Amino acid sequence: MLVLGLETSCDETGVALYDTESGLVGEALHSQVNLHAVYGGVVPEIASRDHLRRLLPLIEQVLKEASVECPDAIAYTAGPGLVGALMVGAGMANGLALAWKCPIVPVHHMEGHLLAPMLEEDPPAYPFLALLVSGGHTMLVWVEELGSYSVLGTTLDDAVGEAFDKTAKLLGLGYPGGPALEKLAKKGDENAFQLPRPMVNRPGFDFSFSGLKTAVMLKVREKETDGTLDLARADIAAVFQCTVVETLLARTLKAARDQGADRIVIAGGVGANRVLRAELTARFDGTVHYPRLRFCTDNGAMIAIAGALRLADADKPDTIHAMARWSLESLDQPHG
Ligand code: KG4
Ligand code: ZN
């Protein structure tokens, strides 16, 4: 079965074609980053309009490159995300499915992220612990099997990607800040000073990043007053990144011990952070799985594979699903 995957939940238009026999057949991505950069964050109205402009040409490109006329099923991101942006993908999926007379599968965006490592050569076996870290979510999830998810911990305030973006903004870096901050941190000293490590000594697995953001803001002000901010920028980036990585690691390793996990998956945009990947791989006894860099941030391939794994849920195109909020735990195993 050939599954076309459409991702339009935020600021990337992603399209991919996944073959249940041979794997990923083709994919294309259009990033809207440049459109939103001047505003310092994603503007929902601009995002929806750009998805509308880009989606059909990307679908045509992917099908043409794979010499496929039409797929056997269409998977699309149904949430969580920006509703206007989601509606573009959902509307397109339903329209094309009507025309092509094929079924559709609504996909949960975070399930897409957590299944992205299944696109790699050595996919994780179930059960596994997943650290899902993106611009909108920070979650530790125990994955018993496909569709059986227990959220062990989540953020009480900012998502970790958001903390990267806000800190990058304070340091005068562009949007999105994660990649730029990682690059700057390489030139800094992570031991230059200390920032508070939020909640590491508290029981449970929740995270909090807003205190860290305030601490960075105070440090930036202090350096500005001293007239030494330019010299200190790289150090601030390095200390911030190290603090975030240590916080994520403390919680993740503890959850892995508690659950007796042999495998950990890191996914979501912040999963592209090389320091996070390297530190977790070095310190965890079992195996650490993560998607290739390109499939950490939003993409169509993770939606196509999630749809392929959920073909039992495929349905007629008669309802458009677009949900701003949608709990991962409310998902079920594919039932048919
Ligand atoms: O998963 P994603 O593409 O979109 C959401 O679903 O939110 O994640 C985007 C987030 C942004 O906050 C971005 O700054 C962050 O992932 N990010 C990174 C890196 N690459 C992307 N954060 C830290 N280090 C990176 N290398
Ligand atoms: Zn995402």
pLDDT digits (tens, 9 = 90+) for 106-160: 999 999 999 999 999 999 999 999 999 999 999 999 999 999 999 999 999 999 9
User: Strand 138-145 vs strand 128-133: parallel, antiparallel, or unpaired?
Assistant: antiparallel
Q: 96-110, 189-203, 254-268, 311-325: which has the minimum mean pLDDT? A: 189-203
182 CB near ligand 1 (under 6 Å): yes
- Whether this prediction's pTM lies above 0.85 is answered by yes
Residue 80's DSSP bridge partners are none
Cα 193 to ligand 1 centre (Å): 25
- What is the rounded distance in angstroms from the CA atom of residue 65 to the CA atom of residue 60? 8
Instruction: Find the distance separating the first CA and the last CA of the chain, reported in whole Å.
Output: 16
Q: Are 195 and 212 in contact (CB under 8 A)?
A: yes
Cα 68 to ligand 1 centre (Å): 32
- What is the rounded distance in angstroms from the CA atom of residue 171 to the CA atom of residue 72? 48
Q: Which of 108, 270, 276, 290 to mutate to test the pocket of ligand 1 (most atoms within 8 A of CB)?
A: 270
Which band of pLDDT confidence, cut at 50, 70 and 90, is reported for residue 336?
low
Cα 251–chain centre separation: 19
Cα 302 to ligand 2 centre (Å): 10
Q: What is the pLDDT of residue 262?
A: 97
Share the mean pLDDT of the chain.
96
Q: What is the pLDDT of residue 71?
A: 98
Q: Which of 82, 134, 274 to mutate to test the pocket of ligand 1 (most atoms within 8 A of CB)?
A: 134
245 CB near ligand 1 (under 6 Å): no
14 CB near ligand 1 (under 6 Å): no
Q: What is the pLDDT of residue 96?
A: 98
- What is the rounded distance in angstroms from the CA atom of residue 186 to the CA atom of residue 130? 26
Percent of the chain with pLDDT over 90: 93
Which band of pLDDT confidence, cut at 50, 70 and 90, is reported for residue 203?
confident
pLDDT at 315 over 70: yes
From the CA of 112, the nearest ligand is 2
Which band of pLDDT confidence, cut at 50, 70 and 90, is reported for residue 15?
very high
pLDDT at 179 over 90: yes
